A and B are shown apart, each in its own frame.
Chain A
Amino acid sequence: MIRFENVGLRYGLGPEVLRDVSFRIAPGSFQYVTGPSGAGKTSLLRLLFLSLRPTRGLVRIFDQDAATLTRDSVPRLRRRIGIVFQDFRLLDHMTTYENVALPLRVLGTSETDYGRDVSELLEWVGLGDKMWVHPPVLSGGEKQRAAIARALITKPEILLADEPTGNVDPPLARRLLRLFIELNRLGTSVVIATHDLGLMDQHDARRLVLNHGRVDIYE
């Protein structure tokens, strides 16, 4: 599904933040990307999400070389990837329902076709009663679940989550982890970037540990 070979990344003329990173992400797999702050977790996720191009090395995503992708072909690949940010990135002027429905609206799907799915997904993540409110009135955990629902509404093949439990309390973090595990059981590959060791101890999975830009893999 995704293959990195000797990938290096630097910002401008600065030092390499990722060095000789090589790994594969198989369909239906579950892995954590971890490491200390500044180790390059977010940069790695941005490479996975085609938000950055590698300075060197090979990045193949869904059998396509990231280096040769045209600007027009990136959105089509991004639709196969769901992403959840630590800061949620919800649009405050739109309701929770509209935020979750946004990817389908962008695809040009009619509301009559997606309305029920969006409602059911919001019920599923426990936001059925917060469907018509705006993000500023949601708690951190509710915002995170809304962001997860938005990432899942198009049924992506892989879900990338950047510190998804960074802004929530431990009980909610455990519930979010259960949600990711269940998604993985349904066939979605999951990549969680986190430095929360407690979270990783709750569910044993492959770990990509970043340190000084290099990655060590613990199966």
Chain B
Amino acid sequence: MMPAVLFSTMAGWIFMNNTARPGRTPPRRKRRVRATHAARAHLIRAADAARQLRHRPGPGDDPHSAMRGANPIVPPQSVARRALLALVAIMSFLACLTVAAVTLVGERADNWQRQIADEVTIQIRPSDTHPIDEAVARAVDVAAQTPGIRSATALSADDAARLLEPWLGSGFDRSELPVPRLVAVSVTADADIAALARRLRDEVPGASLDDHGLWLERLASMARITTLGGFFILGLVMAATALCVVFATRGAMAGNRDVIEVLHFVGAEDSYVAGEFQRHFLVLGLKGAGLGGVAAMILFAMLGIFGRLQGPTPEEAQLRSLIGGVTIGPPGYVGTILTIVLIAVIIAATARLTVRRTLRELD
């Protein structure tokens, strides 16, 4: 720092003619300024006067307190704000919808898998040598004796026939068809399904066990594909947002070329310059992503409310039987909040990388 003593000893004479002195009117200078410059100066002068009126320093005031809340080095109005804010909000909205859809499908798939995994089915094919009713009774006994089996309920011949009605109609003659009989077995998590299958094969003629493995595999596959698709869309949205930020950052840098030059002249490192731009874009990203995310959450809440208020229509009943309604659970909301943060971080990081890369290119 320049020593304060030296400043004060010389302050009196070097610029004594230029400092305001009581009882002396400073000489007027002719200024030739362009109309635009004069208008700009007038506006800034008015703003200065208004600020001084609002915060008139008193005797006990710290003269440096005005620096607190200082002007940002990169002026915020020089960053394309409104258009970029709207774009980030839209991208955030789409990203949050995608995340919610993925969590919804994931939850439902888990639910289906749990329901299916809680049950196995014993199928007993009719045989010429063994009465089927005896085989069904024996299968129920075997199931009941197996550890981990909660219950075993045999479906009657009428119940089995009703299951075929969608394909064969209601008036078909059951005696002409070898309709198998079914036993619905409810199992716990520690049930030994393999042992049950072995005993059924050994002790009940024509019996086989269906553990719904094929269905479970298909459901898991469907859930995986949906999740992957969702993440792919999310990645595209993030990439599009990042690309827009790259262009916006380059535009902001071009608009602030003089600021960047001055920062370099006063010894600023690239990381400092990048940090100044990054701060603007982080705030912009948080605002834009927050707007989009909140809009998405409002939509989720409205879907939930309308879903509960609306009367049951056949279409809705079918939809509900499939996916259980479109109510977004807590994971969807948590995912939305994380998406907002992720978008803001991506925007800030993209801006920082773009500034550093552009500065290297300029060098």
Interface residues of A (CB under 8 A from B): 49, 71-72, 75-76, 78-79, 83, 89, 91-95, 97-98, 101-103, 105-107, 111-112, 114-121, 123-126, 128-129, 132-134, 136-137, 139, 141, 145, 150, 152-155, 171-172, 175, 178-179, 182, 186
Q: Which residues of A contact B258 (CB under 8 A)?
A: 89, 91
Please determine whether A106 and B41 come into contact, CB atoms closer than 8 angstroms.
no
Query: Do the beta carbons of B11 and A123 come within 8 Å of each other?
Result: yes
Contact, CB under 8 Å: B270 / A71: yes
Let me know if B2 and A182 touch, CB within 8 A.
no
How distant is B174 from chain A, measured CB to nearest CB, in Å? 87
Cβ contact of A115, chosen from B48, B52, B63, B263, cutoff 8 A: B63
Contact partners of B75 in chain A: CB under 8 A: 93
Nearest B residue to A119, CB-CB = B63
A83 vs B265: C-alpha distance when bound (angstroms): 8
In Å, the complex CA distance between A120 and B9 comes to 11
Which residues does chain A contribute within 8 Å of B19, judged by CB atoms?
A: 126, 128-129
Interface residues of A, dominant DSSP: helix
What mask results when residues 58 to 74 of chain B are scored 1 for a CB within 8 Å of chain A, else 0?
Answer: 00001110111011010
Indicate if the CB atoms of B14 and A182 lie closer than 8 Å: yes
Nearest chain A CB to B206's CB is how many angstroms away? 81
Q: Tell me how far the C-beta of A161 lies from the nearest C-beta in chain B, rounded to whole angstroms.
A: 13
User: Is B128 interfacial (CB-CB < 8 Å)?
Assistant: no
Main secondary structure of the interface of B (DSSP, over half): helix
Q: Would A150 and B73 count as touching, CB distance under 8 A?
A: no
Whether B40 is near chain A, meaning CB under 8 Å from some CB there, is: yes
State which residues 65-117 of B face A: CB under 8 Å: 66-68, 70-71, 73, 75
Q: Fill in one digit per residue for B1-37: 1 if any A CB lies within 8 Å of its CB, else 0.
A: 1101011101100110111100000000101000001
Chain A CB within 8 A of B45 CB: yes
Q: What residues of chain A lie closer than 8 Å to B269, measured between beta carbons?
A: 72, 75
Asked if A155 meets B2 with Cβ closer than 8 Å, knowing A78-B267, A106-B267, A115-B63, the reply is yes
Interfacial chain A residues near B20, Cβ < 8 Å: 129
- Which B residues are closer than 8 A to A by beta carbons? 1-2, 4, 6-8, 10-11, 14-15, 17-20, 29, 31, 37, 40-41, 44-45, 47-48, 51-52, 62-64, 66-68, 70-71, 73, 75, 258-259, 261-270, 272, 360, 363
Which of B8, B20, B44, B265 has the most A CB atoms < 10 Å from its CB?
B265
With the chains together, A179 CA to B210 CA distance in Å?
97
Cα–Cα, bound, A75→B272 (Å): 11
Whether A182 touches B10, Cβ cut-off 8 Å, given contacts A91-B258, A136-B37, is: yes
Determine which of A89, A125, A136, A186 lies in contact with B40 in the assembled complex, contact meaning CB atoms within 8 Å.
Answer: A136
- A133 to B48, Cβ gap below 8 A? yes
Residue of chain A at shortest CB distance from B9: A124
22 contacts between A and B (CB under 8 A): A49-B265, A71-B270, A71-B360, A71-B363, A94-B73, A97-B66, A106-B266, A112-B64, A118-B64, A119-B63, A120-B2, A126-B18, A129-B19, A132-B51, A134-B47, A136-B37, A137-B48, A139-B31, A152-B2, A172-B18, A175-B14, A182-B10
- Once the chains are docked, how many angstroms separate the CA of A112 from the CA of B29? 36
Instruction: List chain A residues, Cβ under 8 A from B17.
Output: 171, 175
Provided the pairs A49-B265, A75-B268 are in contact, do residues A117 and B48 lie with their beta carbons within 8 angstroms? no
